[in-house]
Structure 1
Amino acid sequence: MLINWNSINDGLRPEAEEPVLIAKEPTEDLINDCRVGSLIMHKDSGEVGWFVGNECDVITLSSRTYWAYINEKALSIPDTDDEKMLSNCLKEYMLKLQYFEKKFQKLSECMMTSGKGTYPLDYFIAGILNRSLSLIYGFDTLLRSSNFIGALHLVRPYLDNYLRLSASWLVENPHDFAKDVWEGSTIRNIRDRDGKKMTDAYLKKKATAEFSWIENVYNETSGFVHFSNKHIMNATTLSSEKERTLRTFIGKIDNNVSYQSKIEAVIGMIEISNFKFNIK
């Protein structure tokens, strides 16, 4: 099972107010068997429950005793050169990335069925999530097809998705912002609540202030979107340092791409996916 379920009965509880998946028993059917909730405690009585809706809906912990983090936690590249271990790690992480399809669909369901109707921001986020799933699918397909360069091209627009989503929380009125974008306004020409135009550079700066590694991912992946030394280095490598010779490869599939590089790219996609549940 890809989801690591925890049990309230074992004394395990998530951090207060962090969105988690909750269920009556461990399951992989997120759409039909799960709800999204967060642990809350009543200030006066001390009673604890699951907050599950915009209308102050709270259910007891005993009604859904199993919970699981929506975000993936603490992923890293194994410190080994064992290709079998690295290959297994890559497969595991790619499955985790694929599973965001179900998570995003569950998020969309909660978004569209909560409250007293739908709003422009709901449709804006729906567009973000739909594009996210298309990019994840494209990334996964290309990586499995030994097209690492093609797959890396998609990390940058995937990060762009997060930056555009974060813009909706920087403006004075998110619903007006979403409506303007729907009607064709370009986000880089829209100003945030501080009067700043939300250009790519500005959104990157704001996001980097909270997540320092975003700038590096942005800059590195931009190097694959635009022709750069990365494409030259992928085609031409040092064949023999002793003989000072180079080897040039021209083809449509990967040329000596390490498992570590592939795993790093997948982790990047997963981390960006995590951000979509952390917008505030």
Structure 2
Amino acid sequence: MGYSLWNDRIVADNEVVIDKEDRGYQFGDGIYEVVKVYNGQLFTAEEHVDRFYSSAEKIRLTIPYTKDKLHQLLHQLVEANEINTGHIYFQITRGATPRNHIFPGDDVLPVLTGNAKENPRPVANFENGVKATFVEDVRWLRCDIKSLNLLGAVLAKQEAHEKGCYEAILHRGDIITEGSSSNIYGVKDGVLYTHPANNLILNGITRQVILKCAAEIGMPVKEEAMTKEQLLAMDEIIVSSTTSEITPIIDVDGQAINGGQVGEWTRKLQAQFETKIPAPINA
């Protein structure tokens, strides 16, 4: 039996009870985060928690715990489940109350839950690359909020899956935004291109790490929107997320990228990212 986060406690999985009128269940009225665990240690936890509070503020949800308390609970969740390499998922909703679109009063407390999962890094994807497909971006216009409302992303990811692809590259008209569960980058003549961090994309934590890695290896970065045609003309294409890390795309809708091979700049970024991963505590 595993252990879960439930409000301000770590409890056995079967102790968690979610009310049928929880606003997360009925409206998707909440936010979430996913944090990677390497060698038993949370990776970029501070950045994830900061974004969690930022998303909460944007939807006018008050988290009833300090950041320090949340950090403590997340570490306890990893330790209780003895996670070595994996991730933790946590979310907060506006609480349980009879269904009404209007926010409940202050007497209704938000509901915080979380779980931990052991899973290996997808090394084969890093080494060999993956396929992707273009899908129209029909999501709402506040993609900077890590909301529980993911139906648009789910439909895009399913379309990609049915085409035998790893990811859907989303576009509004002709402009590339991001992936269904990732950020998108192109590399041209040694320059890294990616959509600016505005309301049309989520400013991924891994994205932020990658931009730092690029600076450290002397790789120029241009945060500007790309068209579909410009993306396909790139020397290399990358997707990134907490669980995908830096994954090369070698095919988009049947068009080979870099001859279907992982590019040298992708390899350099991957190598620099590796230097960020925490070593085993007892190493």
Determine if the TM-score, normalized by the shorter chain, exceeds 0.5. no
* Structure possessing the higher radius of gyration over alpha carbons: 1
TM-score, normalising length: structure 1: 0.28
Structure ranking higher in strand proportion: 2
- Alignment TM-score, normalising by the size of structure 2: 0.27
